[in-house]
Amino acid sequence: MTAEVLHIGEVARRTGLSVHTLRLYERAGLLAGEVRRDEAGRRVYSAWDVEWLGNCVKFRASGMPLATISRLARLVREGTGNEAERLEVLREHQSRVTERLAQLRDCLDLIDGKVAAYERHLAADGTGEPWQRQPDQTLKRNSTTSPSRMT
């Protein structure tokens, strides 16, 4: 059984990466395997290369720097024995992604609140200012606070 051989155009189609980006990834050392060439000197890729590139696409989408992907690819190319270092690289990135997700959740909560307020405003015939407090929502003045500040 022979392994599937793919040329750069097919790999670009399968990964969503441009041919230019695939060449850049090769030069930057982002591929976990050696890029082989056919008799005509054209790059040939395996299904495993496509799978790895799919991982790279997701790593990049999650904000992983090219230098980190390159480091991980180098570790994979080196073979077994460095799994603890690979895990460290992935855990560091996992931590950054988790932190970013928390920030995005906070942003989404704000946006959800704004969307709900505008939906309520428009459902009520859009009269008045959307952010003007209704009489029953008016905040009471705190006696220790200056008249210009509401608590």
For 109-124, the pLDDT digits (tens) are 999 999 999 998 999 8
pTM of the predicted model, to two decimals?
0.75
Q: What's the confidence (pLDDT) of residue 146?
A: 43
How far apart are the C-alpha atoms of 120 and 124, rounded to whole Å?
6
At residue 128, the pLDDT reads 73
pLDDT given at position 132? 65
**Average of pLDDT values for 59-84?**
97
CA distance to 34, 45, 54, 55, 57, per residue, from 14 (Å): 19, 12, 9, 12, 11
Task: Report the pLDDT value the prediction gives residue 141, as an integer from 0 to 100.
Answer: 46
pLDDT tens-digit series, residues 125-145: 877 777 766 555 555 544 444
Mean pLDDT of the chain: 87
In order, the DSSP letters of 4-39 are: P-EEHHHHHHHH---HHHHHHHHHTT--SSPPEE-T
* pLDDT above 50 (res 34): yes
CA dist., res. 128 & res. 95, Å (int): 45
